């Protein structure tokens, strides 16, 4: 009989989320948080103050090399982002860290045209895609108080005229190296936070502590989908 066992991948904060009562679902072989409670109640918490979501299941690819610009110009249907900015293309978020370094985050790997090009078609002597999906975790901090909470943990100038929507920066957050992307969710201020997986539980705790005064709460993917409408 053929072996039908499929390995399950888990977030760096999986144990913490389980203890918090997360209802889990499987997405692309990852266990993800569908909800903690009533999704409508989770939405109220986010809209009233701030919420925190684990998005570590997303595909994460580092793109490095002097031919990065050639790849982007050849394969994007829009101008390539400047260093320090990000663009959205389909379900992908392309984060341009430096001229020769970018991070591709994709929520739906099977539907990512950029990822297919990277892994099957684009050949170059100086273009190096590296799968960091398991090595990097990702959180989404969302709500009217998200910027205030984040400002407690990083010295990055988060003012709108300096760090506008779709700006990005590699900065310490609670003394942990992170990549932060200002990526609003419709009208709600939101920040993607990408970090090395081994720092996940510590960083989660730091964010939750920083958001206590605003009644921060965790939320799941069902609430996210409703907020995105």
Summarised one tens digit per residue, pLDDT across range 96-113 is 999 999 999 988 665 566
Q: Highest mean pLDDT range out of 26-30, 123-127, 160-164?
A: 160-164
SS3 102: strand
Q: Which helix (DSSP H) or strand (DSSP E) does residue 116 occupy?
A: helix 113-116
- Whether the CB-CB separation of 10 and 30 falls below 8 Å is answered with yes
- Whether the CB-CB separation of 118 and 59 falls below 8 Å is answered with no
Burial of residue 187 (CB within 10 Å: 0-12, 13-18, 19+) is exposed
Res 128: pLDDT: 84
SS3 89: strand
Res 160: pLDDT: 93
**CB-side exposure of 5: number of CA atoms within 13 Å?**
3
Res 117: pLDDT: 72
Q: Find tokens 């392309």 and name the residue.
A: 94
Average pLDDT over residues 58-68: 91
List CB contacts of 199: < 8 A, sequence separation 6 or more: 12, 137, 176
Summarised one tens digit per residue, pLDDT across range 75-101 is 888 999 999 999 998 888 999 999 999
| Average pLDDT of the residues of the chain | 91
As a whole-number percent, the residues of the chain with pLDDT over 90 amount to 75
Cα R_g (the chain), whole angstroms: 18
pTM to 2 decimal places: 0.93
Q: pLDDT grade, residue 122 (50/70/90)? A: low
Q: What does the DSSP assignment read for 137-166? A: EEEEEESTTHHHHHHTT--S---TTTS-TT
Q: What gap in Å lies between CA 60 and CA 136, rounded to an integer?
A: 7
- Whether the CB-CB separation of 179 and 94 falls below 8 Å is answered with no
Question: Residue 92's beta-bridge partner residues?
Answer: 89, 106
- Whether the CB-CB separation of 182 and 163 falls below 8 Å is answered with yes
- Whether the CB-CB separation of 208 and 200 falls below 8 Å is answered with no
Q: Find tokens 């510590």 and name the residue.
A: 202
Q: Of 60-64, 87-91, 209-213, where does mean pLDDT reach its minimum? A: 87-91
Average pLDDT over residues 128-134: 89
Q: For the chain, what is the total number of helices (H) and then of strands (E)?
A: 7, 14
Q: pLDDT grade, residue 1 (50/70/90)? A: very low
Summarised one tens digit per residue, pLDDT across range 177-193 is 999 999 999 999 999 99
Res 126: pLDDT: 84
Report CA 116 to chain centroid distance, whole Å. 20
Residue 209, phi then psi, degrees to nearest 5: -65, -40
């Amino acid at each position: 009989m053929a072996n039908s066992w499929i390995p399950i991948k888990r977030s760096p904060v999986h144990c913490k989320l389980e203890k918090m009562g997360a209802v889990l679902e499987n997405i692309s072989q990852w266990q993800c948080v569908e909800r903690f409670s009533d999704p409508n109640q989770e939405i109220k918490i986010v809209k009233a103050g701030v919420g925190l979501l684990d998005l570590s299941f997303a595909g994460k690819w580092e793109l490095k090399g002097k031919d990065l610009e050639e790849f982007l110009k050849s394969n994007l249907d829009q101008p390539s982002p400047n260093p320090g900015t990000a663009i959205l293309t389909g379900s992908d978020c392309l984060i341009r860290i430096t001229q020769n370094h970018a991070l591709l985050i994709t929520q739906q790997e099977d539907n990512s045209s950029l990822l297919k090009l990277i892994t099957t078609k684009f050949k170059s002597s100086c273009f190096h895609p590296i799968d960091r999906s398991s090595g990097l975790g990702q959180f989404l901090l969302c709500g009217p108080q998200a910027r205030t909470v984040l400002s407690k943990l990083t010295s990055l100038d988060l003012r709108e005229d300096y760090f506008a929507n779709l700006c990005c920066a590699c900065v310490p957050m609670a003394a942990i190296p992170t990549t932060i992307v200002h990526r609003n969710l419709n009208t709600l201020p939101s920040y993607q936070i990408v970090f090395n997986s081994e720092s996940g539980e510590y960083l989660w705790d730091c964010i939750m502590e920083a958001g206590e005064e605003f009644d921060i709460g965790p939320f799941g993917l069902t609430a996210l989908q409703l907020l995105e409408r």
